[in-house]
Amino acid sequence: MISLTVSTEPTNASIPTIRQYPDSPDEQLAQHAKHNKFKNKAGQVLVHSPDIYFGVGENALDATATRKLAGKVARAISHLEHAFLAIDLEHPRAFFEGLLLGGFDPRLYGATEIEQTKLEVASEHQKDMQQAIEIAEAVNQTRKIINTPGNHMYPEIVANLASSLKGVEVEIWDEQKLVEENCGGILAVGQGSERPPRLVKIHKPGSGKKIALVGKGITFDTGGLSLKPPEGMVGMKYDMAGAATVLGVMQAIAGTETSADVTAYLCLAENMPSGRATRPGDVITIRNGKTVEVLNTDAEGRLVLADGLSLASEKNPDLIIDVATLTGAAVIALGNRYVGAMGDSDAVEQVQTAAGKAGELVWHMPLPEELAELLESDIADLMNVKIGNKAGGMLIAGQFLSQFVGQSDGNQIPWVHLDIAGAANNSSAPYDYTPKGASGVMIRTLIELIMQQGNQE
């Protein structure tokens, strides 16, 4: 873990100093290239005892490359107890973000305490550092929540975490309230568990544009009665990453000045098999009155999101964004680093612009109209899956969700669906500023988007 403090000069002259490598290294420094530990297209990190040098190459780094390089620096200094940072980069805030995000340690349990590297920073970078700390704290807290196993992180616990946020209004619906409010999707998914479902609304009032965030929060997904195979169940604690993401966004913007009016809906349930669980073939009624024939109880995320999207639509916002680890098809189509975005083209473009500034990867996927026909049911308004169909799974899920986005002035409310199934969890080695485990993807993008929207009066 990395901690940042402000100092005009190192408090201990003997501690290592992290210095920027010259654009054109002289021969004396160049001969230390044999100690090179990390490389990327932008430059390299050199360990040159007692100081640490990082290279930026001949060209100036943009914010994304700066953030990535800082993540590598964070791992290079992880063995240090104390260091001093002396840099002169064009994007200092991005560098601090990369340090704090790349220096995150995913371990939650163990006999040994996680060691922390204290990093002193020159005082002229204080404002950039403070902004980076606020964002990184939200991302790293979200990572911890997502990494926490299902026996310690279930709907009630997530709701309690949300209730502790300062600077926002929080409302929690228990199972009885969910019945009263006709949230049939969340209830159907959660009824098989001994840990009942919750819906959490978090509101940051504002005088400007109204933005709704909806997060899928399946704290553990067994598949319900459509039981997953054992290997498919490993890692299903990550199935609440969408709800954790919007919770992290609300944490970050709670104390931020923006005119945007933002409401988050966390749709929380544990999908378990039992004598009370929803059966394949059951018909349920969603908040907006539409009926769904549930043919696969392992396609449960779209059911809880249906209630959340219906609720969000009732407030007639200017933009709705839902975030979910929704489909394995997203991983097949886009791999493990890209997020699939579907919905209103202009709104998707806004998300992509914000993602570009945040240095996150978003790919615009289509929503072919003909796929909606596959979800037609003989006995209800629609089915939650087309049994036997393997084509376009991510897109079919998006078409399902679109049925629960309301209308304003005769047109569908601008809406974006973000399928983060691939990018939410890094199961391989750390890279750039992404640790192993939960990545915290899309938090910084959504913060950037909200700030942009807040400036559009």
Please tell me which residue, 117 or 319, carries the higher pLDDT value.
319
Quote the percentage of the chain above a pLDDT of 90.
74
pLDDT at position 112 over 80: no
Looking at 59, 92, 126, which one is the last position of a domain? 126
372 located within any domain: yes
- Pair 162, 36 in one domain: no
The confidence score (pLDDT) of residue 121 equals: 86
In tens, the pLDDT along 156-171 reads 999 999 999 999 999 9
The confidence score (pLDDT) of residue 396 equals: 98
Question: Cα(184)–Cα(174) distance, rounded to whole angstroms?
Answer: 13
Neighbour tally for 408: CB within 10 Å: 12
Buried b (16+ CB within 10 A) or exposed e, 61-91: bebbbbbbbbbbbbbbbeebebbbbebebeb
pLDDT category of residue 33 using cuts at 50, 70 and 90: very low
pLDDT at position 32 over 60: no
CA-to-CA separations, 318 to 105, 145, 258, 344, 398, in angstroms, rounded: 38, 29, 16, 12, 19
Question: Cα(276)–Cα(382) distance, rounded to whole angstroms?
Answer: 23
**Counted domains in the chain:** 2
- Pair 34, 164 in one domain: no
Mean pLDDT of 29-43: 38
Q: Which residues fall within 8 angstroms of residue 302, CB to CB, at 6 or more apart? A: 326, 384, 397, 400, 401
Question: Cα(89)–Cα(61) distance, rounded to whole angstroms?
Answer: 8
Out of 30-44, 64-78, 403-417, least confident range: 30-44
Look up 216 and say whether it is catalytic: no
- Type of residue at 164: S
Beta bridge partners of 118: 3, 82
- Pair 26, 92 in one domain: yes
The confidence score (pLDDT) of residue 28 equals: 35
Question: Cα(445)–Cα(350) distance, rounded to whole angstroms?
Answer: 10
132 located within any domain: no
- Pair 211, 73 in one domain: no
CA-to-CA separations, 84 to 2, 21, 36, 63, in angstroms, rounded: 12, 15, 20, 22
Question: Cα(267)–Cα(162) distance, rounded to whole angstroms?
Answer: 12
Report the CATH number that the domain containing residue 275 is assigned in CATH: 3.40.630.10
In tens, the pLDDT along 290-332 reads 999 999 999 999 999 999 999 999 999 999 999 999 999 999 9
152 located within any domain: yes
Instruction: Record the pTM.
Output: 0.93
- Pair 156, 260 in one domain: yes
The confidence score (pLDDT) of residue 59 equals: 65
The DSSP bridge pattern shows strands 339-343 and 415-419 to be antiparallel
The confidence score (pLDDT) of residue 51 equals: 72
pLDDT category of residue 46 using cuts at 50, 70 and 90: very low
User: In which region does residue 16 sit, left (phi positive, over 0), alpha (psi from -120 to 50) or beta (all else)?
Assistant: beta
3-class DSSP assignment, residue 51: strand
The confidence score (pLDDT) of residue 17 equals: 81
pLDDT at position 40 over 60: no
In tens, the pLDDT along 351-375 reads 999 999 999 999 999 999 999 999 9
The confidence score (pLDDT) of residue 27 equals: 36
141 located within any domain: no
136 located within any domain: no
Question: Cα(273)–Cα(191) distance, rounded to whole angstroms?
Answer: 9
Neighbour tally for 315: CB within 10 Å: 15
What's 107's DSSP letter?
-
**CA gyration radius for the chain?**
23
The confidence score (pLDDT) of residue 45 equals: 52
- Pair 116, 166 in one domain: no
Largest CA distance in the chain: 78
Question: Cα(41)–Cα(336) distance, rounded to whole angstroms?
Answer: 21
Look up 302 and say whether it is catalytic: yes
- Type of residue at 433: Y
- Pair 179, 296 in one domain: yes
pLDDT at position 176 over 50: yes
Cα dihedral 430, 433, 437, 443 in deg (nearest 10)? -160
Neighbour tally for 336: CB within 10 Å: 15
Sheet with strand 169-173: strands edge to edge: 169-173, 198-204, 261-271, 210-221, 319-324, 415-419, 339-343, 362-364
43 located within any domain: yes
Question: Which has the closest alpha carbon to 216: 337, 326, 299, 327?
Answer: 326
- Pair 82, 168 in one domain: no
- Pair 332, 372 in one domain: yes
- Pair 195, 78 in one domain: no
pLDDT at position 345 over 70: yes
pLDDT at position 284 over 60: yes
Beta bridge partners of 419: 324, 340
- Type of residue at 293: E
Please tell me which residue, 75 or 168, carries the higher pLDDT value.
168
Give the domain range for residue 250.
Answer: 148-454
- Pair 232, 310 in one domain: yes
pLDDT category of residue 48 using cuts at 50, 70 and 90: very low
pLDDT at position 341 over 60: yes
Out of 25-29, 150-154, 259-263, 337-341, least confident range: 25-29
Quote the percentage of the chain above a pLDDT of 70.
91
142 located within any domain: no
- Pair 198, 49 in one domain: no
Contact predicate 365/343, CB 8 Å? no
Out of 58-72, 177-191, 310-324, 359-373, least confident range: 58-72
CA-to-CA separations, 85 to 99, 118, 127, in angstroms, rounded: 11, 10, 15
The confidence score (pLDDT) of residue 58 equals: 60
Catalytic residue among 228, 315, 357, 436: 228
The DSSP bridge pattern shows strands 339-343 and 362-364 to be parallel
Structure tokens at 383: 């089915």
pLDDT at position 269 over 90: yes
264 located within any domain: yes
What is the rounded average pLDDT for all residues in the chain?
A: 90
Mean pLDDT of 103-124: 84
pLDDT category of residue 21 using cuts at 50, 70 and 90: low
Report the CATH number that the domain containing residue 104 is assigned in CATH: 3.40.220.10
In tens, the pLDDT along 212-255 reads 999 999 999 999 999 999 999 999 999 999 999 999 999 999 98
